[in-house]
Amino acid sequence: MEFNSVLLRKLVDSFSPSGNENNVRKLIIEEIEDYVDEIKIDNLGNLIARKKGNGKKVMIAGHMDQIGLMIIDIDDKGFLRFTNIGGISPFLSINQRVIFENGIVGVISSEDIDDKNKLKLDNLYIDIGAKDKKDAEGKIGIGDTCVYLNSFYEDNDKVISRCLDDRVGCFVMIEALKKMKNVDNDLYFVFTVQEELGIRGAKTSAYKIEPDIGIAIDVTPAGGTPKSKRLSVTLGKGTAIKIMDKSLIVHPKLKDILIDMAEKNNIEYQREVLEYGGTDSGSIHLSREGVPSGVISIPTRYIHSSNETVYKKDVISSIELLKTVLNHEFKI
C-alpha span between 117 and 114 (Å, rounded): 9
Which residues share a beta bridge with 318? none
CA dihedral 97, 278, 173, 267 (to 10 degrees): 110
State yes or no: 63 annotated in a binding site.
yes
SS3 category, 186: strand
User: Which long-range contacts does 100-103 make (Cβ < 8 Å, 24+ apart)?
Assistant: 100/140, 100/144, 100/145, 100/146, 101/15, 101/20, 101/144, 101/145, 101/146, 102/139, 102/140, 102/144
165 a known binding residue? yes
37 annotated to bind ligand: no
Handedness of CA 263, 206, 42, 216 (dihedral sign): negative
Cα gap 304→92, rounded to integer Å: 9
Whether 155 has a binding-site annotation, put simply, is no
Give the DSSP per-residue string, 126-159.
EE---SSHHHHHTT--TT-EEEE----EE-SSEE
Active-site annotation, residues? 195
Residue 253: phi and psi, rounded to 5, are -70, -40
Beta bridge partners of 269: 239
Buried b (16+ CB within 10 A) or exposed e, 79-113: bbbbebbbebebebbeebebbbeeebebebebeee
Half-sphere exposure of 115 (CA within 13 A, CB side): 2
Q: Please tell me whether 304 is known to bind a ligand.
A: yes
Write the CA distances from 194 to 90, 124, 168, 191, integer angstroms: 21, 24, 16, 10
* Residue 159 and residue 309 in contact, taking contact as beta carbons nearer than 8 Å: yes
Annotated binding site: 63, 165, 196, 218, 304
Annotated binding site for Zn(2+): 63, 165, 196, 218, 304
